[in-house]
Structure 1
Amino acid sequence: MGAFAPAARGVRPFLPGQTPHLFTLARVAQGAASAALLASSLGLIVHAFPTARGRRHATGVWGAFVSGGIAVGPLLAGALPSWRLAHGVLGVAALIVAVLSVRGLAESLSSRGGRPDLAGAVTFGMALVALVAALTLGRDGWLRALVLLLRAAAVLLTAVFVRVERRSRTPLIDLALLRRPRFLASSAGGLFTGFAVIGLFSFLPTLLQQALGLSPTATAWLFFLWSGLSFVVALLARHLNDRISHRLQLVLGFVLHAAGVLAMLGAVDAGSWPRLLPGLVVAGVGSGLLNAALPLLAVDSVPAARAAMGSGAQQSLRYIGSCAGVALTIALTASARDLARGTDVAMAVSAGLALVAATGVAGLRDKRRVSTR
């Protein structure tokens, strides 16, 4: 979350004479590795838990620990004396997990066979790069020539990707899945979770530090209420999967996010951080339901052999939504006459987007159950 970056704590991120290029390249590599983990981990879960009940509980734990990482990460980074040490700790932890994975996880290979869809991967990756770059640079002006060019390139590359996928024997994303209501619900859920939830809560801590004068550490503890509740609810919500469909959990999650965010309106203008607490509690419960339902829907919306495909599609849309959501939040706050009004506008728009998502997901009813054979 941007609020907890080293620069926000007054720490100079680079030593004299250093440039951020190496750091940027390392972050690109980290992003690529994270994408591989997010897609493959759910595929491994389907392989390790072949029964429907086992998958429901395992994906619930997976979603809970996504929330747990968001909760613990800022506090851990704030407790360490430097950002370099924080990255070092994360690197060592990743190596330990890698060793344990090699020793403890069974290999799972797709039964489809065939060559990897390299053409699809390249065109889809280039389309995403162009789109994310347009969303990022668009914060300084959506009608600039470079932004318009990047947006046009994203549209063109997406069209090329669709054509490639239609002709591929082993497509990166089987476009026939778009006719399945569950897959559409999974994709829409990931997109709007990024757009409405992550987009706002990634930038809201920075806004509160500027408007209310909170320290980064105090902000981290304040938002621990939201992310910590999200962890607990996601961990407990797996027990609801036997009684409530994950589509309904998504709907409830978006509705609770909207209610929580609307409850926080006016808190910045009043200069009162305690007024945020009820809204953070309600939004945290909603976030927990979303994080519990999304991974299960990602693997349950496709045949079992394509679990990584379902996960990859959902996570890609989630990060596209996050980039768009952060850009939208910054644009709304920057265009307002003061920071308090801009924050309220951004929160109201986030709530509106969540309600749109809830309505859309509620309307995507299953015509038939997806086969998992």
Structure 2
Amino acid sequence: MSANEKASPRQWLGLSVLLLPTMLLFLAMTVLFLATPYITADLKPSGPQVLWINDIYGFIMAGFLVTMGTLGDKFGRRRILLSGAALFGAASILSAYAPNPDVLIVGRALMGLGAAALVPATLALITNTFTNARQRSVAIGLWAASVSAGVAIGPLVGGLLLESLWWGASLLIGVPVMALVLVTVPLLIPEYKAPNAGRLDPLSVVLSLAALLPFVYGVKALAETGLDAITAVTLVAGIGLGAVFVRRQLRLPEPLIDMRLFRNRTFGGALAVYMFATVALGGVYLLFTQYLQLVADQSPLAAGLWILPAAIALVVVSIVAPILARRVRPAYLIAAGLLASAIGYVVLTQVDSTAGLPLLITGFYILYPGIAPAMALIPDLVISSAPPEKAGAASAVEGTISDLGVALGVAILGSVGTTAYRSHMDTVEVPGEAAAESAETLPGALDAAQKLPDEVGGTLVDAAKTAFTEGLNLAALVAAVLTVIGAVVAVTVLRRGEPAEAADETETDPDTELAEVA
């Protein structure tokens, strides 16, 4: 397909097939959270096993994105996508019927590996299919909307399934979708691979995994248990091995990731903006959902229903943003959305622990759709600024930045919230053993309050909810600052980017053509 050629109805149908697994992959990141109590009652996992059941999926996915994206560039993006779909479907069945926690952890890890193959392949295939700049921006906007929809409806879908079926049903929803992918993708999506992808450097693959896996683990551990010796060692190891990886890429004639891409203002600037936005949202989203259930006493299903309107708004804005980008510079749309998000975060700084639900929902309904222009437009900016033969690797880098941003947000803003909580609880007089239980977390305080006389327990609950809300307020303030910084970076670094309509008029055939295999 030549540059600027408009897509056919068959290619738009192929896009719909690619969007289904994309939504499912990100739904799978959140759908299991509500099932944790049911899994705990059924499989009796230990505390660390519970953490691994929830975290291993995103952990493996983030670690393998770059490797899978590069493999797709070299061996064929459709081939990698189909392999990932088959693995994800089989691993979903294994996880759903796991007889013990260890098998469930292995199954979730394999699901993450399948997801790592699918994410960069779907985005790269979309960019290959839609060479017309305007249509490509719309297609990527729809891709971003499917990501947002998956993350947002995960808790709602999980709540509905858990009310009528067993916990494994929340994992089986991926099986028919992946079966559909395996049947329809070969019929609708042609194979693409880069003719000049070069040889794969095995040591670079090992170094990328050796750097990303301990770093992501360290960030997650920092959010869950705080800084200890093991967490510090894994973070330092990840950073050190990352430096070795970068140095090797700069020396290789055919690197796994061409580090020179980061010299491109659009490529590096777009990733920086995305990092600021995802750090802010990742941390506050976690505290927001906890407030709904622990402070506002909403059920998991009710919490999912509160999130749904914001998710719908996010999807709508994700679709509209690429259309507006035909006439308005993407940088201005991204910055405007981030400034709207900053206003939403500021609203959250005013939430209290007694009647804060209306204000909480108002702030969230402002901030959540505000990130949509960034989610819809940045992937296109990143991939368009890279050579066509590097589209898979570029999309994998964008996905890795997104995952790392969320993980860092949970760690950094979660720590901000925890520090504020502890500081407030240090001033509260709590009797006996309840003091230790309530000092660290709100769930601990709620459990401790049940063991105390009603009047004393009620006082403890009120104090703990106030402490948690103060943590949310402070984290939201930090998120507002980060989001404003992201908006400033967008208008200063990305403002040279043309609207898609202008890009259509000036776009020429790329120097390096992709090989299309029937």
TM-score, normalized by the shorter chain, greater than 0.5 = yes
The equivalent residue for 2:184 is 100
What's the CA shift string for 1:296-329, capped at 9, x where partnerless?
Answer: 1121221222222221111111111111111123
Distance 2:312 2:276 in 1: 21
Amino acid at match of 1:36: A
Amino acid at match of 1:150: T
Question: Do residues 172 (structure 1) and 172 (structure 2) align?
Answer: no
* Greater displacement, 9-18 / 181-190: 9-18
The equivalent residue for 1:281 is 365
Aligned 8 A contact 1:186 1:314 in 2: no
Aligned residue runs from structure 1 range 256-267, under 5 A:
256-267=340-351
> Deviation of residue 19 (structure 1)?
4.1
Amino acid at match of 2:473: D
What's the CA shift string for 1:235-275, capped at 9, x where partnerless?
Answer: 12221120122222222222111111211233342433122
Distance 2:400 2:275 in 1: 8
> Deviation of residue 3 (structure 1)?
9.0
Aligned residue runs from structure 1 range 154-303, under 5 A:
154-303=238-387
Distance 1:35 1:247 in 2: 29
Aligned 8 A contact 1:64 1:234 in 2: yes
Larger radius of gyration: 2
Distance 1:124 1:11 in 2: 33
Question: Do residues 353 (structure 1) and 482 (structure 2) align?
Answer: yes
Structure 2 unaligned residues grouped into runs of 5+: 1-28, 46-98, 425-466, 499-506, 512-518
Q: Residue 171 of structure 1 aligns to a residue in which SS? A: coil
Question: Do residues 30 (structure 1) and 30 (structure 2) align?
Answer: no
The equivalent residue for 1:152 is 236
Distance 2:277 2:101 in 1: 30
The equivalent residue for 1:15 is 43
Aligned 8 A contact 1:127 1:154 in 2: yes
* Greater displacement, 209-218 / 93-102: 93-102
Distance 2:335 2:385 in 1: 16
Amino acid at match of 1:164: R
The equivalent residue for 2:157 is 76
For the aligned residues, what is the CA RMSD? 2.4
Amino acid at match of 1:106: P
Aligned 8 A contact 1:8 1:216 in 2: no
Aligned 8 A contact 2:343 2:480 in 1: yes
Aligned 8 A contact 2:344 2:366 in 1: yes
Question: Do residues 122 (structure 1) and 206 (structure 2) align?
Answer: yes
- Residue among 404, 407, 416 paired with 1:320: 404
- Residue among 492, 501, 507 paired with 1:363: 492
Distance 1:29 1:246 in 2: 37
Aligned 8 A contact 2:329 2:497 in 1: no
Identity %: 26
Aligned 8 A contact 1:142 1:148 in 2: no
Change (3 A) 1:30 1:247: farther
Change (3 A) 1:267 1:8: farther
Distance 2:41 2:177 in 1: 22
Distance 1:3 1:265 in 2: 28
Amino acid at match of 2:129: A
What's the CA shift string for 1:184-228, capped at 9, x where partnerless?
Answer: 122113322321113321442123211111111111011112222
The equivalent residue for 1:5 is 33
TM-score by length of 1: 0.92
Q: Residue 267 of structure 1 aligns to a residue in which SS? A: coil
Distance 2:393 2:399 in 1: 10
* Greater displacement, 264-273 / 363-372: 363-372
- Residue among 142, 148, 165 paired with 1:67: 148
Distance 1:262 1:368 in 2: 29
What's the CA shift string for 1:19-55, capped at 9, x where partnerless?
Answer: 4222222222222222222211121112111221221
Change (3 A) 1:368 1:242: closer
Distance 2:330 2:102 in 1: 42
* Greater displacement, 21-30 / 310-319: 21-30
Q: Residue 199 of structure 2 aligns to a residue in which SS? A: coil
Q: Residue 269 of structure 1 aligns to a residue in which SS? A: coil
TM-score by length of 2: 0.67
The equivalent residue for 1:46 is 127
> Deviation of residue 362 (structure 1)?
2.2
Structure 1 unaligned residues grouped into runs of 5+: none
Q: Residue 6 of structure 1 aligns to a residue in which SS? A: coil
Instruction: Tell me which of the two structures has the higher relative contact order, counting C-alpha pairs closer than 8 angstroms and 6 or more residues apart.
Output: 1
Aligned length: 373
